[in-house]
Amino acid sequence: MDNKKLVEVGTCLNKDKKKAVEVGTTLNMEKNKGVEVGTSLNLDKKKVVCRPYDNIKDVNESKDLWTFAVRIADAWSVMGKSRQEHFDMVVVDKQIILLSNSSDSVQITVPTDELDEWKGKLVKNKTYEMMNFKVLKNDIVLKACTHPYRLAVTGATIIKEVDFPQIPILPMRFKDFGEILARKYRTDLLTDVIGCFHSVTNTNQNNGRLKSMNFLLKDTSGHLIHVCMWDDFAKHFMDSFSKVNDDRVFVVVKYGRIKPAHGVYPLCVTNTSSSTELIVNADIPEINEFKARLGTT
């Protein structure tokens, strides 16, 4: 290699202010151009000028040096069985297909040993420039994206908040009740559903504390789906339901899990322990649009 293609890794590993990384053709850039990386991984005053950006849909295991311009579509903390916390997020780029659930988004994990560096700095709906990840197969039990790969933050990952107004905000992608009832779903994929509250089918209490609540949701076609909310989600539903003055209650379950029918238990949408969001009668575009469609059926 000639001197112009040598990689000095001082800023990635040692945070040396005086060194920069020249990656030459590794980033498909012109021979004499490089990447200037500031000493702080996300908030320093120097500009990160990585060009061109890779597309999320192209991510694969052929390399770890991927560079993205992205918007964080969702983010949540996960507490593992050993009580060790990590952080998950879903990011999208400008290639996003708004009404699709294809590989235009990717799930990124901030592991426990990197959490102190990044927690609180990565915010939903903000845009960032990101580079250098460990690429893994997307084979986790429950996933938020259909992308065949997922990414993990490492000590060499570089993230800087940059304004990319051309990247749209990812809307919720609601699963059709008819498709769920026809068993056209994946049990390993987190799912968004929206419906109008129909009736309570069962409640379960333990020592006077609400443990679970089962109810039916109805869509604009009249299809009914069972929903089962556990623990804090059951309490949140009850608290929200009791405050509603409207004749109709509208419910969104974001990142719920579809569980097939088993024995006496019907097919249902239920919550996870960390990623699920339950929204009841909120003044948001998705619920307002659903109300309007329901009113015309």
**Tens-place pLDDT, residues 256-268:** 999 999 999 999 9
**CATH numeric code, 177-295:** 2.40.50.140
DSSP structure string for 99-124: T--STTEEEEEE-GGGHHHHTTTS-T
**247 is written with which tokens?**
């004749």
For residues 187 and 180, give the distance between their C-alpha atoms in angstroms, rounded to a whole number: 11
CATH topology of domain 3-161: OB fold (Dihydrolipoamide Acetyltransferase, E2P) (2.40.50)
Domain positions in the chain: 3-161, 177-295
For residues 7 and 111, give the distance between their C-alpha atoms in angstroms, rounded to a whole number: 26
Whether 3-161 and 177-295 share one fold: the answer is: yes
What's the pLDDT at 99? Answer: 55
What's the pLDDT at 119? Answer: 85
Give percent helix, percent strand, percent coil of the chain, each to the nearest 5: 15, 35, 50
pLDDT category at 104 given cuts 50, 70, 90 is confident
User: pTM for the complete prediction?
Assistant: 0.79
pLDDT for 39-77, tens place per residue? 334 444 345 444 689 999 999 999 989 999 999 999 999
